[in-house]
Chains A and B, each alone.
Chain A
Amino acid sequence: MQADCRIVLSTLLLLIGIGTGLKAQVLTPEDSLNAGLVRSDKPTVISGYGQAKVQYDLRYKTGEVSLTRNVLFVGHRFSPRISLFSEMEIEDAGVEDKKLKGSISMEQLFLKFNLNKDIYIVAGLFIPRIGIINENHLPTTFNGNDRHFTETLLIPATWRELGVGIYGNVRRIPGFNYSFAVVNGLSSQNFVSGTGIREGRFEGSKATASNIAVTGSVLYYVRNFRLQASGYFGGTAGLNKRNADSLQLNYGAFGTPVALAEFNAQYHNKGMGFKAMFAYTSIPDAANINRAYANNTPQAMFGGFFEAGYNLLYAFNPKTTKNLTVFGRYEYIDLNSTVAGNGINNDMLKQQYIVGGITYQPVRGVVIKADYVHRITGTPNPLLYINPYPQALPYYTSNGFVNVGLGYSF
């Protein structure tokens, strides 16, 4: 136990040391499309973001440290109306042959066409406006080392797909924005019980295009509120007729659909911040998916969270650009709230997360985070485990995790 603690402590010190180095990097001036030039003569931008964290599991008394992700952004403006945006992500410091350590993927790659000063179109691999973290996933924009669990398990952020989207704002209603997009659909064959629809994403890699999805949102900035509602409806069976018939699945553009609705509200004022979200997912043909693929897909899932935070430095200096926020968050997720007739209920998928911690930003673009996550779940259904205890490690329905990490974005 003492040895474990020493290892974790050493790692924390190492991470803090790395953080000092990162600060120096961010302060280096960089050219940018947006550096203040009305017509920039330097149309190519390089920027990025990343985060690392160390986690200590209080039950198993083990620690893990990882370079969670690093993303390189390259943008280029071909003309005042057409720009390229691309983000390449390396998770967990990369991949090695025959070792499943991390992953390399394109997080985004799209062309943006400005139709006028209020409306633009994006085409390519992009992240639709669903939830908060999907679009605002930089580590400097959210509290806690982990992204909201609701937006990891229920809304699979960062959820990028190939397609075309239109974004705009309504000038007659200041602060009112909208978006609508058509993207490729999901694959219900790849759904994994306990991870919602996450594994059904294609993320730009050889997606089936015979099933598609539509998604739309309205976003309204009013007073110090940011209010957003979004929806998604798409097919999950991109099969030909013969295969679909043999699996008894509805195929076509919206065959074997997934529907997701989400609402979130944020409030920021005078150092205070509040966030709330609710999301609901419906998979009406879950029984057909289970019959075809035996992956225990639920018929419905839901979840949400509420978070409150306060920047302590604001109390001393309302004009501060630094941030020392203390925050608390409660999340509730039920990943099999309605089980299909041929599905198996698993109470372990009814999960609560109580998160508390601090977020410190010595300068804009750099963040140091420390938090505690308490996870409470129902009991696992023994019918779903081939090698139960004592062969497998015991499962604790109540467990705590201590996280310390760093992040940057520029």
Chain B
Amino acid sequence: MERRSFIKAGCLVCTGAIALSALEACSTLPMVKAKPVNGLLEIPLTSFAESKMVIVRSNDLDFDVLVVKEGDAYRAMYMKCTHEDAPVAATASGIYCNMHGSAFDLQGNVTKEPATKPLTRFETTVTNLSVIINPTKILK
């Protein structure tokens, strides 16, 4: 293969990937700041008005908590990679660690190593007006 044709083929692949990615609109996930009361984080249900995913930030936690709404249920996951202590980022298609490339689905299950364990999930309860996250109760 000639240098010119190799570079051309490489550029074509790259351009295609970028074009595909551009199909997805960039949208910020809503963030709710919460202060624990009796160790519990309370999030208003209205936070999910525009998105099924909300990031919960608390100064009392080392990492954020991602809450995903699925029907009437709410899943709370600790945004700390189970591989090497790095923060993970949530997108509409999954949760990713930029440090070593681990990937998780929106249930927190590993879809790509090096992480071998799912994200930590916290117990949630739903009231009429809010979702309550209990960071001390870890779901197995």
Contact = CB atoms under 8 A, between A and B. Distances in A.
A175 B91 contact: yes
A107 interface: no
A118 B79 CA distance: 11
Interface residues of A, number: 63
B13 A177 contact: no
Interface in A303-327: 304, 306, 321
B31 interface: yes
A136 B11 CA distance: 23
B21 A225 contact: yes
B98 interface: yes
Contact of B83 (A34, A263, A267, A332): A34
A49 B113 CA distance: 12
B111 interface: yes
A141 B113 contact: yes
B85 A77 contact: yes
Interface in A76-129: 77, 80, 83, 85, 112, 114, 117-118, 120
Interface residues of B, number: 59
B101 A226 contact: yes
Contact of A174 (B63, B89, B112): B89
B14 A276 contact: yes
Nearest to B109: A321
A136 B100 contact: yes
A117 B100 contact: no
A169 B20 contact: no
Contacts of A75: 84-85
Contacts of A61: none
Interface string B1-41: 10100110011011001101101101111010000000000
Contacts of B57: 117
A200 interface: no
Interface string B27-69: 1110100000000000000000000000101000111100000
A221 interface: yes
B96 A175 contact: yes
B110 A321 contact: yes
B96 A221 contact: yes
Interface string A51-82: 00000000000000000000001010100100
Contacts of B63: 117
Contacts of A32: 82
Contacts of A138: 100, 113-114
Contact of B114 (A118, A141, A276): A141
A132 B117 CA distance: 22
A58 to B, nearest CB: 23
B93 interface: yes
A364 B101 contact: no
Interface in A129-149: 132, 135-136, 138, 140-141
A38 interface: yes
B28 A171 contact: yes
Nearest to A229: B14
A363 to B, nearest CB: 8
B91 A222 contact: yes
Contacts of A33: 84-85
B59 to A, nearest CB: 10
6 contacts: A38-B62, A38-B120, A117-B87, A135-B100, A221-B96, A365-B113
A-B residue pairs, 9 tightest by C-beta: A278-B10, A265-B17, A364-B116, A177-B98, A36-B120, A175-B91, A222-B21, A136-B101, A221-B96
